[in-house]
């Protein structure tokens, strides 16, 4: 697949410079980091949560875990991890589980934790929409893409 169509269109519309890199097939973000020879703190992952107010894409580094309690407190509402069926409906041009962290490309409200390593690195990687491709871009371009996203502290390093 290389890169999901909605993601590619979103990046091109914003004239963002990026590269797609391939790696051996992987299923989990830390396995992806290992197989792609990328440090876990430089690989942004998207975690979809849902609640009464709809879906929210939570973005953290691969070697971080989302603290659902902190996220609930920050949002002032209940949220829970979604199942694969919901992922498939929203990220319909992606393989299941290969969620790009750019929720805005899919019309999904997005929040990220800039206090994590993602707020500090010169280069960021993320899923391109399948289990064998990553998008690589500068940290400044990633920050530009994440500008419309909400921000908060709700994660910690594993």
Phi, psi of 70 (to 5 degrees): -65, -40
Total residues belonging to the chain: 158
Q: Are 14 and 146 in contact, with CB atoms under 8 Å apart?
A: no
* Residues lower than pLDDT 70 in the chain: 1
Query: What residue ranges do the domains of the chain occupy?
Result: 5-152
Round to whole Å and give the CA distance between 109 and 88.
Answer: 17
The CATH class for the domain spanning 5-152 reads alpha beta
Q: How far is CA 1 from CA 8, 13, 28, 32, 107, in A?
A: 11, 20, 18, 16, 21
* pLDDT of 1: 56
* pLDDT of 21: 96
């Amino acid at each position: 697949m290389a890169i999901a169509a909605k993601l590619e269109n979103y990046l091109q519309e914003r004239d963002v410079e990026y590269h797609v890199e391939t790696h051996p097939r992987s299923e989990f973000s830390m396995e992806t980091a290992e197989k792609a020879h990328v440090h876990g703190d430089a690989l942004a992952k998207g975690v979809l949560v849902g609640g009464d107010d709809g879906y929210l894409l939570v973005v953290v580094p691969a070697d971080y875990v989302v603290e659902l309690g902190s996220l609930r407190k920050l949002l002032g509402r209940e949220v829970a991890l979604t199942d694969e069926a919901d992922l498939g409906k929203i990220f319909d041009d992606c393989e299941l589980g290969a969620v790009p962290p750019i929720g805005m490309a899919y019309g999904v409200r997005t929040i990220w934790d800039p206090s994590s390593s993602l707020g500090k690195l010169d280069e960021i990687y993320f899923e391109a929409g399948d289990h064998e491709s990553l998008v690589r871009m500068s940290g400044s371009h990633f920050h530009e893409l994440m500008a419309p996203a909400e921000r908060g502290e709700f994660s910690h390093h594993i």
